[in-house]
Structure formats: C-alpha cells, structure tokens
Amino acid sequence: MTDAPAQRERPEGIAGSTLPGPYAVGAYAKGLKAFLREREHVQIHGEVWNFRIARTRAYFELRDAEGALPCAIWLNRLEALSLPPETLVDGARIVIAGGLDYYPGSRTSSPGFSFDVSALRIAGEGDLLAQLAELRRKLAQEGLFEPQQLLARPLLPRTIGVVTGESGKARDDILAALGRRGWAGRLVWAFAPVQDRHAAPAISAALQDLAATPQIETIIVARGGGSLADLFAFCDETLCRTVALLRVPVIASVGHHTDRTLIDDVAAVSCSTPTHAAEAAVGLDIAEARGALARHGGSLARNARGAVMGRARRLAALGRVPNEYVTRERRRLHQQLRELRAASARRGDAERAATGVRAEVLRRKAVAGAGADAAARRRALDGTALALAAHDPRRILERGYAMVTDGDGALVGSAAQARDTGRLRVGFADGSVDVDVMEES
C-alpha cells in the first residue's frame, strides 16, 4: 500500500446540492481557524474547574449550570496579572476576556478548540463553594460534626468495613498499609460508585449495610483525588446526615491533602489518603510491636540468665565459706579444750601442794583462778558453738538454696562444670537428689 498523494484532485460534489465546495478538510479547518480568530473578542464569567499548568500555558474549564468552555492562558499573561495560580481553585468565580482559537489537527492528531484568555480577574466566591459553605454552617449549627467524634474507636478492630470504588488505587493502598501494619483481621468490602449523581445514595446505602453488620467495628470511606466536581458526591447533605447518625466510627479519606469535603467534617476521623486511613483504623503497628517484643524478650532472657548464674556463684561461695569457718572454729575449740585441761591439772597440783594457812590461801587462789579461767573458757566455747550453728550450711539450705556437687562430693559452681560432669547431686535442707544434665539453657 503506497502513501496517498499530497494533493488529490477535487471530487465531484453531492448531486443536486447548491452549497459551495467541496473543500479539502485542511483548507476548511484553516479557514475556520482564521474565521474564529477574526470574531469579536468577548467577556465571559463562570466558575473555574480543573485548573492545571503546563510548560507554557495554563488550562482550565469555565463552567456554569448550563455549559462548559475549555480555556487556555499563556503563562506570561497570567504572571502579568500578579494573580497567584493557587487562587484559581475549583469553584472560584472569574471573568475572562478573549476569543476562540481553533487547532485544525492533522492526519495523526485530533482537532480541538479553546477560548484564548487575554485577561482575567477574580469575581468572588463561586456559587458552588458558597453552597458548600452554607451547608457546612447548617450542619455545624445542628451539631452533626460531633456525634462521630464522640464514638470510641477500637485500637485493634477485628473486622473493618470499606466503602470505595471497585476500581482505583484506594483499594490497593488500604491493603498495602494494613499489610505493613501486620494486621490479620477481616475486611468487608462494599463497592459503590464514587463519582456521579448516583454516587451519594449508593455510598449512603453501603454505609448503612456495613454498620448493620455486628462484627464490623470501624468503617473506612475512601476515594482518590480529583477536582471538586469529581468529589462533590461526598458533600451531599443526605450522605453527611447518614454518617453522623451511624453508631460505628467512620474514617473518611476523600481526595488528596488539599481536598476537604463535607464528609470529612462529619466523620470520626479525616485522613488525607487511603493509606493514612488504614493506619488510623489500626492504631497499633503490630509488626513493630512484635519486633520490639522480640528485642525486649531477648534482653529479659539474657538478664534472667545472668541473674541465675550470679545467684549460683554466690551460693557456691556461701557453700565454701561455712566449711572454712567450721574448720577454723574447730581448731580454736580444740586449742581451748587443751588449755582447759591444762588449767584443771594446775588446779589439782595447787590443791595437793597447799598445806597450812599459806597452802590454803594458795589453794583458794589457785582454785579461784582456775575456776575463773575455766568459766571464761566455757563462755568462749559456748559463743563459738552459737556462731558455728549460725553458719551451719543446713541453715542456708533451709532458706531455699541448694548445694550442687559432683559424684566425688566436690562443689559445682558453674554451668560449664555441670555440663562436663553430666551427673550431679543437688542437696536441699531435707535431703538430696541425683540429676542428669540434659541441656544448657
């Protein structure tokens, strides 16, 4: 198939027609463009919708209740007006001056026309924004912004209801956010149109159905971004009253960060994105909580093991101290017994040697001295016996400690010794038991 020639011979016209032509489409389109440009420039007023900035021009639609007109303004003209672009929000009422411009298109591009704006001024708040402001004041005066906010929201709802469009990113964003939270509850979806004149009644019905489901503890209403006209269903008075009267908390996420619809005012919580709505519905980040629990659990286990090992070492030390003390006191006791026997022998010698008065005096002194010495030795012996009883290992065992020894009776003071020994004997106050070392914790 070869390319068609650039210029074709003009075909015959329609038989019987008195109209001029036929003209080539390109020639007629160029003529139309010139005709429109030559038309008288006019002023038009209406409301701004879908304002957006491209590389060299800004585009928007001028609307009212009966029509819409695509418009374009060169950026240098807009800058010359000293009018910040952010003031041209959806619904802002403006007056523009200019004329129609036509793009003929080509074999590979579509034709189109727009109103070429040469001048612009803000005329005041748009009718639509004024209508919404009045409805917002009315609902606030009736106290409909408060009931939802007074409802208690569960930290970890077991079942969450979601009203959203069947297509769109809102559903995927909610699923992804709940997955990151580690939430493992149940989602109940209620799909409804979220943009047209049928949207508000359908959303109201979906909300009422979900609220009537006993297991549902929280409801999310979600829709992605768009112009005010796209989101206008969520400013419906009947829908707002439905939300305010529900006994289940509603989390609204309609549009993007800068969008604010009336359902945001009556809902329990208003979120900027569906992702934030899912995070608000599940107040606890379960995945993070599990990680923190694992970290702190490991630390507690290490601390507990350290405490047990420390107590075991102290117990082993206490076991050694009484044995050393008993040995030392036993030596002292034997020494005191030897001294007592020697004193008794000296007293006998004194009695046999004492004769007469002098002997009697000497005998009495010897007896008195030996008796005092013996009493002192006996008191010291009694004190030693009391101290020895206080440090008796059995007394320590009666306080809940245990003494661990190997098969030869040697103390075992560490887990490493226990593992190497294998068979242990654990002594308590009322007896002992033999144990086998199975594993080291």
pLDDT (tens digit, 9 = 90+) per residue, 394-404?
A: 677 677 777 78
pLDDT reading at 160 higher than 90: yes
pLDDT reading at 94 higher than 60: yes
Q: How far is CA 364 from CA 340, 341, 357, in A?
A: 18, 19, 10
Residue 138 maps to a domain: no
Say whether both 408 and 361 belong to one domain: no
Residue 177 belongs to what domain range? 146-284
176-218 tens-digit pLDDT: 999 998 888 999 999 999 887 788 999 999 999 999 998 999 9
Predicted confidence band of residue 220 (pLDDT cuts 50, 70, 90) = very high
**Where is average pLDDT lowest: 72-81, 357-366, 410-419?**
357-366
Residue 430 confidence (pLDDT): 80
Say whether both 378 and 440 belong to one domain: no
Domain count, the chain: 4
Residue 247 maps to a domain: yes
Strand 423-428 relative to strand 431-436: parallel, antiparallel, unpaired? antiparallel
Tokens at 70, concatenated:
């695509």
Residue 312 confidence (pLDDT): 66
pLDDT reading at 409 higher than 70: yes
CB 47 within 8 A of CB 63: yes
Residue 2 maps to a domain: no
Say whether both 296 and 270 belong to one domain: no
Boundary of a domain, candidates 223, 255, 284 = 284
Predicted confidence band of residue 358 (pLDDT cuts 50, 70, 90) = low
The alpha-helical segments, DSSP class H, found in 42-108 are: 75-80
Domain of 97, CATH number, reads 2.40.50.140
Residue (of 65, 63, 66) closest to 44 by Cα position = 63
Say whether both 259 and 221 belong to one domain: yes
Say whether both 42 and 167 belong to one domain: no
Tokens at 89, concatenated:
């929000």
Assessment of whether the complete model's pTM goes beyond 0.75: no
Boundary of a domain, candidates 218, 249, 284 = 284
Say whether both 186 and 260 belong to one domain: yes
**Where is average pLDDT lowest: 115-124, 138-147, 312-321?**
312-321
Tokens at 409, concatenated:
């009776």
* 121/83 Cα distance (integer angstroms): 8
H/E stretch holding 285 reads: none
Percent of the chain with pLDDT over 70: 76
Residue 98's SS3 state is strand
The average pLDDT across 262-273 equals 92
Say whether both 368 and 412 belong to one domain: no
Say whether both 436 and 351 belong to one domain: no
* 264/64 Cα distance (integer angstroms): 26
How many residues are present in the chain? 441
Residue 135 maps to a domain: no
Residue 133 maps to a domain: no
Say whether both 278 and 294 belong to one domain: no
Say whether both 82 and 106 belong to one domain: yes
The average pLDDT across 309-328 equals 65
CB 60 within 8 A of CB 51: yes
Say whether both 161 and 225 belong to one domain: yes
Q: Which amino acid is at 324?
A: E
Residue 6 confidence (pLDDT): 47
* 370/390 Cα distance (integer angstroms): 30
* 406/436 Cα distance (integer angstroms): 11
Residue 357 confidence (pLDDT): 46
The average pLDDT across 258-271 equals 88
Strand 218-223 relative to strand 186-191: parallel, antiparallel, unpaired? unpaired
H/E stretch holding 377 reads: helix 356-390
Percent of the chain with pLDDT over 90: 28
pLDDT reading at 283 higher than 70: yes
Of residues 288 and 406, more confidently modeled: 406
Residue 6 maps to a domain: no
The average pLDDT across 232-261 equals 88
Boundary of a domain, candidates 94, 124, 154 = 124
Residue 378 maps to a domain: yes
pLDDT reading at 25 higher than 50: yes
335-355 tens-digit pLDDT: 877 887 777 777 666 556 544
* Mean pLDDT of the chain, nearest integer: 80
Residue 17 maps to a domain: no
Partners of 250 in the beta sheet? Answer: 219
Of residues 88 and 143, more confidently modeled: 143
Say whether both 161 and 247 belong to one domain: yes
Residue 127 confidence (pLDDT): 61
Domain of 233, CATH number, reads 3.40.50.10550
